[in-house]
Amino acid sequence: MKNILESPDTLAIVAEIDYYYFLIEEANKKFNKPITGIELMIDKATGYDKERTNQFRKTLINYVRQIIKRKKKIEADYSADEKFLEELKAINP
């Protein structure tokens, strides 16, 4: 991995990577926000729960792809991110 202080570009890329991790955490909090029993029943009856899960999965896939792209630029290890991406792709909502 390149030294974070090597150039302003490297520092900016590291900041972008951190931002995408932050977005993943925020999306996870939003997705796991507790809902009432009646809301859950309505979501299941209308199919919204599957659409919600699928949209969450697509969002995470996009974020992880952006992380990998940026880690490649700074020659950082992205093997764990690739594994996570493959796991996300394998989920069938």
* 34 vs 89, more confident: 89
pLDDT the model gives residue 69: 96
CB atoms within 10 A of CB 6: 11
pLDDT of 3 > 70? The answer is: no
pLDDT the model gives residue 10: 87
Taking alpha carbons only, the member of 74, 62, 65, 56 closest to residue 15 is 74
Helix segments in the chain, DSSP class H = 8-31, 37-46, 48-73, 79-90
* Average pLDDT of span 48-56: 86
CB atoms within 10 A of CB 88: 18
- Please give the DSSP secondary-structure letter assigned to residue 7: -
Domain ranges of the chain: 8-90
pLDDT of 26 > 80? The answer is: yes
E strands present in 1-93: none
Q: How much is the pTM?
A: 0.83
User: Do the Cβ atoms of 24 and 30 come closer than 8 Å?
Assistant: no
pLDDT of 82 > 90? The answer is: yes
Task: Give CA 46 to chain center in angstroms.
Answer: 26
pLDDT in tens, 32-44: 887 888 888 888 8
CA angle 53, 47, 87 (to 5 degrees): 25
